Structure 1
Amino acid sequence: MATTTELSPTGEISKYSQDMQVDKKLTPRKVPTLCSIRYGIAFVAHLCNFTIRAQAMIINITMVVMVNTTNHQLQLNDSTEGLSDSFDAQTSFPAKAPVYNWSPQIQGIIFASINYGTILTLAPSGYLAGIIGTKRVVGFALLGSTLLTLFIPLAADHGLIILITTRVVQGLTQGSALGGQFALWEKWGPPRERSRLCTIALSGVMLGIFIAILLGGVISQALGWPFVFYVFGGIGCICCLLWFTLVYDDPRSHPWINITEKEYILSSLEQQVISSSKPSLPIRAMVKSLPLWSMCLCCFAHQGLTHTVVTYIPTYISSVFNVNIRDNGLLSALPFIVSWFSGILGGQLADFLLSKNFRLITVRKLATFVGSLPPSVLLVVLPYLSSSYITTMTLLIVSCGLLPFCQSGIYINALDIAPRHSSFLMGVSRGFSQAAAILSPTVCGFLLDQDPEFGWRNIFFMLFAIDLAGLIFFLIFGETDVQEWAKENKLTRL
């Protein structure tokens, strides 16, 4: 007799019941948390994100000593041994580190080049990870980024074109690592713990920024700027070893997982286990989905705000307070250690609210609101209080500290509305928002160049307007219910 059975959002008929046969009533009441395998994987992913972001950021720091700032004429591969005597601020750095005559415009191209590669692979890597597994996609992407980091000093010495090409290819690998990792939480993240697991992993980005800013100048001064790439390349090698050793695609394939934790994860995901064959993507339905568009547009607006803060905090501090490079690095790094802590705290808070029977849609929208509107409002106020050193730094720290709360909101919303396609959709939303990372330096540079006196004020008002529009769109159209196009009906015979 034929019957129509509605499958789980993943398109599988209770695969868990076939493998484990664990009754829901026997689901363990107490399972390990911080000492568990799933949290261990989250911390390895945290280290992966730390490494990826630091490897992308370090050239922003080393550029200060890589260029002869007294000569802005473009020479594609004009390298000299030693530093220019006229550049007094760099005379304490090792004399054998090469210096290049790159104009500020060329430096901007070098900075942005990694984003052109990243935006191309965020969405495809998420889909690929859902097919062949996160372990291989992210692992080989991290290995590729690490090898290219070690190669950058040699690439710079062989010419500007080689360096930019290397950065673009590195962006391809980093986009694969960032986009591919979200498939982990389809199989490792119990619904009540996804916020904290995802934010533990994603908060590594802010820690990478903090460490890169804090240590980049110190290593350059002590050993020379090429050693910054060698050190962070070495860290990447260690991270690759940990990733390939400790991370597995799902609890079933993990050789060391405790049976209690395994049963807990699989039983909590019984209605969301991913099928062995990846379902086809309903592209037409996705394009028409307002909840999906609201997530993508809000991600774009928030990423524009975040990227501007990350990129321009050192420049803003320098322009307002005229501090030296060492003090600027310390002040610029301070907001990001606060962001690292608040990102982890935000995930814990979101899951705490869910445990108190708050609606999922309420938690997602509240987290997005806290991570979007207050930071942009504080930045708008900033130019009017620039005369106060303590007030300015306090506003920057609080604004930067609130940004990661969105990690518990829009950035994992795809797991709510389309768990079967979440790895692909998370890559799409991050790829869509990555366009803001490309546009931000260009637009901000234009505004500062056109109006040096009120440029910062114009930038902050622009960010506030874009961020508010994205937030309102998500608050109106954002959802957490599984969408119809993310479900699957299948004819089965009993």
Structure 2
Amino acid sequence: MQCGKSKTKKKDQSIPVSSTKDIKSITLKEEKTPGCYFKARHALALMGFLGLFNVHAMRNNLSVAIVAMVNNTGQDVAPTNQSNICPDKGANSGSMASSNGVFNWDPMQQGLILGCYYYGYVITNVPGAWLARRVGVKKVFGGSMFLSSIITLVSPASVYSSVELFIAMRIILGLFQGISSPVLIGVWASWAPPMERSILISVVLSGSSFGTCVTLPLAGVMAETLGWEAVFYFTGGCGLLWTVFWFLLIHDTPNQHPRISDQERKFINESIGLNQHKDQKVHVRTPWKSMLTSLPIFGIVCSHFAGNWGNHTLLTMLPTYMSTILKFNLSASGFLSSLPYLLQLLVINLGGYFTDVVRNRRITSTVVIRKLNTTVGLAIPALFVVLAGYVGCNAAAAVAFFSLSVGMNELTVPGCKANAMDIAPKYGGIIFGISNTIASIPGFLAPQVTGILLQDSNSLTQWQTSFWISAGVYLAGALIYLLFGSGVEQPWARGEITHKKQDTSKVEAELVTLQARRCQTDRHQIN
């Protein structure tokens, strides 16, 4: 280890690094385990990926299903500018016409129904991360997914009962799923070597893109052929199946894992100092005040909020745009709406991989690569979401621009969203929970803003206004992160020890010794 440190000092003269832990992790090499190529941490990343796949399948199934649920012909909402209406591409013919729903919800009600999930979602981000630190990720995330699956399965019955009950069920679904991303970020404090953080976090969070990419086209086909109820039954059933494998395969730390190799356990523990920081006799106070007043965290929160605003605007409303403006049928609408998330899946994993390559080779500092990823991940989406609104009825150009906007947005994952693990590894889950809480506000606010804009006129002009709002939020978030982003572990992130238990066996031994000495003294005085 001393030899390794002397080598890294020479490199420090040219390229700065974020912390001494990063230097140590560069010098450490994992010993090969004969016959073992798929590591325990890779299994955790895969299950986290599939977990977020199911989270987003249950969250986004409504974005497509609502097109089949709503009775569009029964609405008295006509576009005021007929020149903005594109030629029909099957939206009003064949199976699409026969799939016209039974619920008479106007655009504002649809915006409320699509966004109400996030009323519950924003509440449980921070409490979920806090609870996972004490109870364990396995129980917290597994339990929330089990309950989420049950709620999804009973959703069709609830909406037929009353729209108010359906909204309540969606809010409760958000409550259970709000813990998902923070706990799956926080678990890497115990599992991820510092130089693998970006790719491992990117792989897990890419499950959200994959879930959306698969759900949108599949839900369109299922709603058109089997009925929209089948969408909820299928996504809820997949969630239950995943829960079984999660409880069988996953463990909270490398030291608790019964099947991990000794080589991998040693490598993880040494690279992140797990043995040094997991002293069960030491209680560390969570630095809430420092976190809430930290400028680097403020930068993370603002850029995360900005990325989510545009992402949620398109995620919840793009199927509606494809169906009502570009006039595609339900199946085509779901498929075309999924294409941006296919690109998103590619960008997030390639971005995470190359970010770790840059950090490992020390081409530039951590803060520079985080800021570069975040700026590109917000500026390019701002440009293309605006352009998409001005291509008129050119469906190919619109899909291409939407894809670039949504796809490039995922560079914020190896950018600002992974940054919490750089500035405060111990509290990465809690910080992401704080950030994700505020960044989830666009989940219910963005669809409602778009719904209000479309209330009087479902036209391209109104959609363009929505896209301009998204672009402005994107650019504001990029600017704030450039000003306040950091890649260095913050002084408060080491934690403040508030109580340290004494070894009871030593205390008892000292009491016995003291009592024996007193007895000897008493005997001496008597004699």
The unaligned stretches of length 5 or more in structure 2 are 1-24, 77-91, 503-527
Q: 1:405 aligns with which of 411, 429, 436?
A: 411
Task: Report how many aligned residue pairs link the two structures.
Answer: 456
Letter in 2 for 1:153: P
Residues 207-262 of structure 1: per-residue CA shift (max 9 Å, x gap): 11111111112222332222221111111111101111111111000010111111
In structure 1, the residue matched to 2:402 is 396
Offset of 1:24 from its aligned partner? 11
Q: Contact 1:115/1:168 (CA < 8 Å) preserved in 2?
A: yes
In structure 1, the residue matched to 2:316 is 311
Letter in 2 for 1:28: E
Q: Contact 1:69/1:87 (CA < 8 Å) preserved in 2?
A: no
Q: For residues 169 and 87 of structure 1, what CA distance do their matches in structure 2 show?
A: 37
In structure 1, the residue matched to 2:301 is 296
Q: For residues 439 and 34 of structure 1, what CA distance do their matches in structure 2 show?
A: 45
Q: For residues 59 and 250 of structure 1, what CA distance do their matches in structure 2 show?
A: 35
SS for the counterpart of 2:486 is coil
1:365 aligns with 2:371: yes
Q: Contact 1:210/1:334 (CA < 8 Å) preserved in 2?
A: yes
Offset of 1:274 from its aligned partner? 4.9
Offset of 1:108 from its aligned partner? 2.6
In structure 2, the residue matched to 1:416 is 422
Alignment CA distance shift 1:233-1:196 (3 Å)? same
Q: 1:340 aligns with which of 342, 345, 348?
A: 345
Offset of 1:465 from its aligned partner? 1.9
Q: For residues 387 and 222 of structure 1, what CA distance do their matches in structure 2 show?
A: 27
In structure 2, the residue matched to 1:444 is 450
Residues 343-395 of structure 1: per-residue CA shift (max 9 Å, x gap): 11111111111121131111211111221111111222233333544333222
Output aligned runs, 1:201-220, within 5 Å.
Answer: 201-220=204-223
Output aligned runs, 1:90-489, within 5 Å.
Answer: 90=96, 99-270=102-273, 273-274=277-278, 276=280, 279-318=284-323, 320-357=325-362, 358-386=364-392, 388-449=394-455, 452=459, 454-488=461-495
Q: For residues 301 and 360 of structure 2, what CA distance do their matches in structure 1 show?
A: 27
Residues 92-136 of structure 1: per-residue CA shift (max 9 Å, x gap): 55xxx9843444433332212211110100111011111111111
Alignment CA distance shift 1:390-1:226 (3 Å)? closer
Q: For residues 220 and 497 of structure 2, what CA distance do their matches in structure 1 show?
A: 59
Q: For residues 308 and 108 of structure 1, what CA distance do their matches in structure 2 show?
A: 10
Judge which range, 106-115 or 365-374, deviates more: 106-115
Alignment CA distance shift 1:457-1:230 (3 Å)? closer
Letter in 2 for 1:394: A
Residues 58-89 of structure 1: per-residue CA shift (max 9 Å, x gap): 1222222223333349xxxxxxxxxxxx9975
Alignment CA distance shift 1:112-1:28 (3 Å)? closer
SS for the counterpart of 1:120 is coil
Letter in 1 for 2:138: K
Q: For residues 388 and 108 of structure 2, what CA distance do their matches in structure 1 show?
A: 27
Q: For residues 167 and 66 of structure 2, what CA distance do their matches in structure 1 show?
A: 14
Q: For residues 109 and 60 of structure 1, what CA distance do their matches in structure 2 show?
A: 12
Q: Contact 1:274/1:420 (CA < 8 Å) preserved in 2?
A: no
Letter in 1 for 2:304: C
Q: 2:30 aligns with which of 22, 28, 41?
A: 28
Q: For residues 316 and 64 of structure 1, what CA distance do their matches in structure 2 show?
A: 10
Letter in 1 for 2:286: L
In structure 2, the residue matched to 1:76 is none
Letter in 2 for 1:405: L
Offset of 1:286 from its aligned partner? 2.1
Q: Contact 2:219/2:334 (CA < 8 Å) preserved in 1?
A: no
Letter in 2 for 1:454: T
Offset of 1:30 from its aligned partner? 4.7
- What is the TM-score with the length of structure 1 in the denominator? 0.85
Alignment CA distance shift 1:439-1:278 (3 Å)? farther
Q: For residues 335 and 194 of structure 2, what CA distance do their matches in structure 1 show?
A: 38
Residues 406-459 of structure 1: per-residue CA shift (max 9 Å, x gap): 111111211111122211111110011001222111222333446745323322
Alignment CA distance shift 1:390-1:70 (3 Å)? closer
Q: For residues 316 and 30 of structure 1, what CA distance do their matches in structure 2 show?
A: 52
- What is the TM-score with the length of structure 2 in the denominator? 0.80
Letter in 1 for 2:431: L
- Quick one: percent identity of the two aligned structures? 30
Q: Contact 2:125/2:182 (CA < 8 Å) preserved in 1?
A: yes
Q: Contact 1:145/1:174 (CA < 8 Å) preserved in 2?
A: yes
Offset of 1:91 from its aligned partner? 5.9
Structure 1 vs Structure 2 CA RMSD: 2.7
Q: Contact 1:195/1:351 (CA < 8 Å) preserved in 2?
A: yes
Q: Contact 2:149/2:239 (CA < 8 Å) preserved in 1?
A: yes
Q: Which has the larger radius of gyration?
A: 2
Judge which range, 440-449 or 148-157, deviates more: 440-449
Q: For residues 393 and 98 of structure 1, what CA distance do their matches in structure 2 show?
A: 26
SS for the counterpart of 1:481 is coil
Q: For residues 388 and 26 of structure 1, what CA distance do their matches in structure 2 show?
A: 54
The unaligned stretches of length 5 or more in structure 1 are 1-22, 74-85
Offset of 1:283 from its aligned partner? 2.3
Q: For residues 87 and 389 of structure 1, what CA distance do their matches in structure 2 show?
A: 18
SS for the counterpart of 1:479 is coil
Alignment CA distance shift 1:393-1:98 (3 Å)? closer
Offset of 1:193 from its aligned partner? 0.5
In structure 2, the residue matched to 1:44 is 47
Residues 151-196 of structure 1: per-residue CA shift (max 9 Å, x gap): 1112122222221111111110010223322221111111111111
Q: Contact 2:344/2:410 (CA < 8 Å) preserved in 1?
A: yes
In structure 1, the residue matched to 2:515 is none
